[in-house]
């Protein structure tokens, strides 16, 4: 039995991975190219396991710095706007004075 299997990628194309592992070793646009890559990595030509019902897991999502700073900026602007509105209401109604 081969130690490699070919599975559909959840992102795009087909992945080659070791049997029992979630992380793909390589990604290929077609199933045939993925099978060839599995053979080149040492798999037995007749025993490459091609699984169309299993999807390979994608890599962990990295932190996107740009999206994080935009989100932080949006929250800061919302807090400042809320403070300005509350201050304007207090000034216009003479609340507390």
Q: Which two tokens stand for residue 70?
A: 């935009």
pLDDT of amino acid 89 = 93
Region at 32 (left for phi over 0; alpha for psi -120 to 50; beta for the rest): alpha
Give the tens place of pLDDT for each residue, 44-80. 555 677 776 665 555 556 678 888 899 999 999 999 9
The pTM (predicted TM-score) of the whole model is: 0.49
Kindly give, in sequence order, each residue whose CB lies less than 8 Å from that of residue 18, ignoring residues fewer than 6 positions away.
Answer: 3, 4, 5, 25
Yes or no: say if 4 and 18 are a contact pair by the CB < 8 Å rule.
Answer: yes
Q: At CA 18, angle to CA 15 and CA 20, rounded to 5?
A: 110
What span, in angstroms and rounded, lies between the C-alpha atoms of 44 and 19? 13
Going by pLDDT thresholds of 50, 70 and 90, the confidence category of residue 86 is very high
């Amino acid at each position: 039995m081969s130690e490699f299997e070919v599975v559909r990628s959840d992102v795009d194309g087909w992945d080659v991975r070791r049997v029992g592992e979630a992380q793909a070793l390589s990604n290929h646009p077609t199933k045939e190219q993925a099978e060839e890559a599995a053979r080149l990595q040492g798999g037995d030509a007749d025993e490459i396991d091609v699984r169309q019902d299993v999807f390979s897991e994608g890599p962990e999502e990295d932190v996107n710095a740009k999206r994080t700073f935009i989100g932080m900026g949006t929250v800061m602007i919302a807090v400042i706007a809320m403070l300005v509105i509350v201050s304007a209401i207090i000034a216009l109604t003479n609340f507390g004075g």
